[in-house]
Amino acid sequence: MYHWDVDQAPLPRAVCLLLRRADGLILAVSRKGDRTKFGLPGGKVDPGETDEEALVREVREETGLVVINPGLLLSRVCKGETDYLSKAYYAREVSGEIGTSEPIDIQWVAPEILLAGPFGEFNEFLFRHVGIM
């Protein structure tokens, strides 16, 4: 039987954070260049960076929050123009205040808002995996 270890995947990697409030709303950031489309905070893993380091860096840059001790929710190979490995994390703890100097908006949104756009299919898979949908 062939087993492919996703942690050794020779693919570009991306990470995102699922941070959900008690009222069910999810922290989202607008896409750069289009403040009407939202996604989960996160981004590409830079060379030499671990996935967790990239998550902490991207979330801090996009939201001002510091993720402490992130936990992996799932990994999935996403197919498209360029295939990539995407990993979704949750935060065991966060510190800091929400805010950023980047040209994006930060909002708490209903999960349905995150089903549109380029990451909608991944978000739906993630939400079903964790029981949001």
The residues spanned by each domain of the chain are 8-130
CA dihedral 122→72→85→35, nearest 10 degrees, is: 50
**pTM for this model (two decimals):** 0.87
Q: What is the pLDDT of residues 45-101, one digit of tens each?
A: 999 999 999 999 999 999 999 999 999 999 999 887 888 899 999 998 999 999 887
The token pair at 114 is: 């995150």
Local structure of residue 20 (DSSP, 8 states): B
Domain 8-130 superfamily per CATH = Nucleoside Triphosphate Pyrophosphohydrolase (3.90.79.10)
Residue that is written with structure tokens 């954070």 in the block: 17
Query: Given strand 26-31, what is the order of strands in its sheet?
Result: 34-39, 26-31, 106-109
* C-alpha triplet 37, 41, 47: angle, nearest 5°: 120
Q: What is the pLDDT of residues 65-79, one digit of tens each?
A: 999 999 999 999 988
